[in-house]
């Protein structure tokens, strides 16, 4: 069995999402610890969908709005038409949960109906990065 791949990407609240190369059909765990401008939220959501995000879990500030933005980006990308299950983007938000619970859910319950998602992107939006801490917490979940 192939070991899951964890990637970490830190963004400050006003930075643009860089090109997400080498990812396809992946999970994204958004760890939002800073206020983000609405336009940045929409642009980031569109970029995640365009890069092949198949399952997005939003946690932290405005997590329900992030969930909605990713859903809207997915609908926009599919021209609001019915598409095969393989093209669906599943989204969840985790407003009243500990981050460790979200990481556990991402590893054990976040399943796409058509794909085995072996890669997880931890997208950390905060003033300062916490790569080692968040990767370790994800692995321990």
Note the pTM of the prediction, 2 decimals.
Answer: 0.95
| pLDDT number for residue 51 | 95
Residue 108 CB: number of other CB atoms within 10 A?
9
Assigned fold of 5-140: 3.90.190
Alpha helices (H) in 3-120, listed in sequence order: 38-51, 63-77, 99-108
Q: Which residues of the chain have pLDDT under 70?
A: 1-3
Model pLDDT, residue 106: 97
- What are residue 32's DSSP bridge partners? 60, 125
CA 127, CA 111: separation in Å to the nearest integer?
30
Quote the tokens at residue 116: 């085995």
The model's pLDDT over 49-83, given as tens digits with 9 standing for 90+, comes to 999 999 999 999 999 999 999 999 999 999 999 99
Straight-line distance from the first to the last Cα atom of the chain, in angstroms, rounded to the nearest whole number: 19
């Amino acid at each position: 069995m192939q070991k899951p791949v964890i990637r970490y990407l830190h963004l400050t609240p006003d930075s643009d999402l860089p090109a997400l190369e080498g990812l396809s059909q992946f999970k994204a765990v958004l760890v939002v610890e800073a206020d983000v401008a609405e336009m940045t939220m929409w642009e980031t959501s569109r970029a995640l969908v365009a890069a092949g995000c198949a399952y997005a879990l939003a946690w932290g500030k405005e997590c329900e709005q992030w969930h909605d933005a990713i859903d809207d980006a997915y609908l926009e990308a599919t021209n609001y038409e019915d598409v095969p299950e393989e093209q669906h983007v599943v989204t969840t938000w985790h407003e009243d949960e500990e981050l460790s619970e979200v990481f556990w859910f991402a590893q054990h319950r976040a399943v796409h109906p058509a794909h085995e998602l072996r890669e997880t992107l931890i997208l950390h939006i905060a003033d300062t990065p916490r790569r080692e801490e968040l990767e370790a917490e994800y692995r321990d979940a």
